Amino acid sequence: MIKTDIIDHIVRELINAERERLEVNKFVDEFPELDMELAYEVQERLIETKCKEGNAKVTGRKLGLTSRAKQEMMGVHEPTYGVLLDNMQLFEGEKISLEPLIHPKIEPEIAFIFNKEVKGPIVTVTDILAATAYIAPAMEIIDSRYRNFKFTLPDVVADNSSSSRYLISDRLTPVSDIDIRLMGMVFKKNGEIVTTSAGASVMGHPARAVAWMVNRLVKKGQSIKPGEVVLSGALSEAFSIESGDHFSVSFDRIGSVEASFTN
């Protein structure tokens, strides 16, 4: 198959899997040419198609696999990124239906909300913080379209880094006098602590993960735009969700956010 046909094929399979709640086999076996470069091309086409056919709009971006806990859990050793769309956004207080999801997991994240453009190729932690209007507690619901949530790095990149839903607290905090590295995090499931972490678990500094992405986006002529949000990547491993579950993430200094799930 020629390259554009491979891209189209994978995009169709991934969109269909999400719509029909089906797991698909990873693509690297069928298409050995699926390297990281091609995978990001698939991701780009996937997002274009979703925007066109599903009338979705880009709200920001997400990092994936930025903490050692996540890399070990998924058996990969490099971060990835993906795109957030308006139809992925959830709001505080709403019950979240598991009905449209395949095998969702939830993870604690830090959201960056930008009020300035940030463009690579040599963006640093300081540049990211200078362009950040607010940070906020967040949770991401990931839902890999791959069978048993198993994939290689190019597979997960093609699948928009497992993006499914995201939830950001309405409490926004200016980043100015906060050392995000030292912000402790407590993650609870049904009232019990399931894991704890701190900002530094994300590549030493969550803003470093954001800078890493921005410096790669420039190869595609892309940047973070004012008003966009970026999720740092999970500070811990992810947890499977069942109907009736309630999760909360609390951070030092910036507050907490909660999510309740139903059928």
Which residues contribute to the site for ligand OOG (CB under 6 A)?
A: 64-65, 70, 74, 107, 140, 142, 144, 156, 161-162, 233-234
Q: Which of 156, 185 has the CB closer to ligand OOG?
A: 156
Q: Which of 41, 140 has the CB closer to Mg ion?
A: 140
Residues between 116 and 155 with contacts to Mg ion, criterion CB under 5 A? 140
What is the distance between the alpha carbons of residues 107 and 88, in angstroms, rounded to a whole number? 15
Residue 140 CB, shortest distance to ligand OOG, in Å, is: 6
Q: Pick from Mg ion, ligand OOG, none: which does 74 bind, CB < 5 to 8 A by kind?
A: ligand OOG
Under the criterion CB under 5 A, does residue 234 sit at the interface with Mg ion?
yes
Structure tokens at 89: 């956004």
What is the distance between the alpha carbons of residues 204 and 66, in angstroms, rounded to a whole number? 9
Say if CB 185 and CB 91 are below 8 A apart: no
**What region, left, alpha or beta, does residue 75 occupy, with left being phi > 0 and alpha being psi -120 to 50 degrees?**
left
Q: Which of 119, 135 has the CB closer to ligand OOG?
A: 135
For the purposes of burial, counting CB atoms within 10 Å of the CB of 159, is it exposed (0-12), middle (13-18) or buried (19 or more)? buried
* Residues 6 or more apart in contact with residue 161 via CB below 8 angstroms: 43, 62, 64, 65, 80, 81, 82, 142
Q: Pick from ligand OOG, Mg ion, none: which does 135 bind, CB < 5 to 8 A by kind?
A: none
Under the criterion CB under 5 A, does residue 41 sit at the interface with Mg ion?
no
Q: Which of 119, 259 has the CB closer to ligand OOG?
A: 259
Residue 117 CB, shortest distance to ligand OOG, in Å, is: 24
Q: Which residues bind Mg ion (CB under 5 A)?
A: 140, 234
